[in-house]
């Protein structure tokens, strides 16, 4: 008998995108699914749309609750799930027709309890995907964590993965936190017995400027807090990765501080400037020479700092040239 897969989809005011998402799920080549829709207090017609979809497919289960945020909705969906595996899917995204089948087959073949797939960045008029051989990569815990720190193949996303249910139950999401995945991902990776990456793009990550991750606001501070929590975990358990993690973290806080200075919101400016000052003081002795030099240039020779920053952005853009661009078929 095939393993039941529970797909948990939080729904909050995403009415224009529900059809695309649910069509992709209901048309999966792997049919043994439990499709859990958690309406998190929607006010735009999304709740009615969920109920209507439940009449078209008996695998769909709809739950309505007061608005508690994405983390709360995912946790609620997990509490209702009965499948052997869990897939978290955001309601404005969608998946390839063979996504579940490919992930389940990989989990069984490699005896893995955490499988992450590649994905498309789905813009309005085109798709963008990292260009790499469509193979399967097994990671030990240290290498998987290193890849996560480097923001390489492994990203701070809860979606895009197939997870054994008993593993998912061990790491609930923190209610009330934005960028909740940054608190969650490294912990569940640490508890997994085997982490496998599938280079085949199976998920479509819709790019919306109005989404939580699409805007720079005061809420982004949660990403910094989650990343520092991860840094402290690494310092204690993987000291050989501490310098890499620290310098990535410092660079993130530095860039956020620079972004905040462009804001008209005084609260945003003060919050990120203060946060960076504390972090810089706390970890200053551990920073690599390049970051120390960049900070000195920023403080004393800003025009030169600005020129070097533009050059580095250009170099990073060239490095990202490994992405392929496709039109929608």
Range of weakest confidence among 30-39, 78-87, 102-111, 209-218: 209-218
Task: Select the more confidently predicted residue: 165 or 299.
Answer: 165
pLDDT, residue 317, reads: 65
Give residue 313's pLDDT band: very low, low, confident or very high (50, 70, 90): confident
Indicate the DSSP class of residue 3. Answer: P
Mean per-residue pLDDT, 133-154: 93
pLDDT over 60 at 106, yes or no: yes
pLDDT over 70 at 214, yes or no: no
pTM, 2 dp: 0.92
Question: Is 61 exposed, middle or buried, given 0-12, 13-18 or 19+ CB atoms closer than 10 A?
Answer: middle
pLDDT, residue 284, reads: 84
Mean per-residue pLDDT, 188-211: 90
pLDDT, residue 104, reads: 98
pLDDT over 80 at 268, yes or no: yes
The backbone torsions φ and ψ at residue 104, rounded to the nearest 5 degrees and listed phi first, read -65, -45
SS3 annotation, 273-325: HHHHHHHHHHHHHHCCHHHHHHHHHHHHCHHHHHHHHHHHHHHHHHHHHHEEE
pLDDT, residue 34, reads: 98
**Contact criterion met (CB below 8 Å) for 129 and 326:** yes
pLDDT over 80 at 315, yes or no: no
**Contact criterion met (CB below 8 Å) for 219 and 212:** yes
pLDDT, residue 211, reads: 52
pLDDT, residue 167, reads: 97
Q: What is the pLDDT of residues 70-92, one digit of tens each?
A: 999 999 999 999 999 999 999 99
Mean per-residue pLDDT, 50-70: 97
């Amino acid at each position: 008998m095939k393993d039941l897969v529970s797909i948990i989809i939080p729904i909050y005011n995403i009415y224009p995108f529900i059809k695309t998402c649910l069509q992709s799920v209901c048309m999966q080549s792997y049919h043994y699914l439990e499709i859990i829709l958690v309406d998190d207090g929607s006010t735009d017609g999304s709740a009615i749309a969920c109920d209507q979809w439940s009449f078209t497919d008996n695998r769909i289960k709809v739950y309505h609750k007061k608005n508690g945020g994405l983390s709360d909705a995912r946790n609620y969906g997990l509490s209702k799930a009965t499948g052997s595996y869990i897939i978290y899917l955001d309601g404005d995204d969608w998946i390839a027709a063979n996504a579940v089948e490919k992930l389940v087959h990989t989990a069984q073949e490699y005896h893995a309890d955490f499988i992450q797939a590649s994905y498309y960045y789905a813009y309005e008029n085109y798709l963008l995907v990292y260009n790499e051989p469509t193979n399967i990569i097994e990671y030990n815990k240290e290498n998987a964590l290193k890849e996560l720190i480097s923001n390489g193949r492994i990203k701070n996303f809860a979606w895009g993965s197939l997870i054994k249910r008993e593993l998912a139950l061990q790491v609930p999401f923190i209610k009330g936190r934005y960028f909740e995945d940054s608190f969650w991902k490294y912990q569940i990776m640490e508890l997994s017995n085997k982490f496998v990456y599938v280079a085949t793009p199976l998920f479509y990550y819709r790019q919306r400027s109005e989404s939580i991750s699409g805007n720079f606001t005061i809420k982004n501070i949660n990403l910094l807090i989650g990343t520092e929590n991860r840094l402290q975990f690494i310092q204690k358990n993987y000291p050989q990765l501490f310098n890499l993690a620290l310098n990535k973290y410092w660079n993130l806080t530095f860039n956020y501080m620079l972004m905040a200075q462009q804001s008209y919101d005084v609260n945003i400016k003060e919050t990120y400037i203060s946060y960076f000052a504390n972090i810089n003081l706390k970890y200053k002795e551990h920073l690599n020479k390049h970051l120390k030099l960049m900070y000195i240039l920023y403080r004393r020779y800003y025009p030169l700092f600005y020129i070097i920053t533009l050059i580095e952005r250009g170099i990073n853009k060239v490095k990202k040239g490994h992405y392929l661009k496709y039109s929608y078929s």
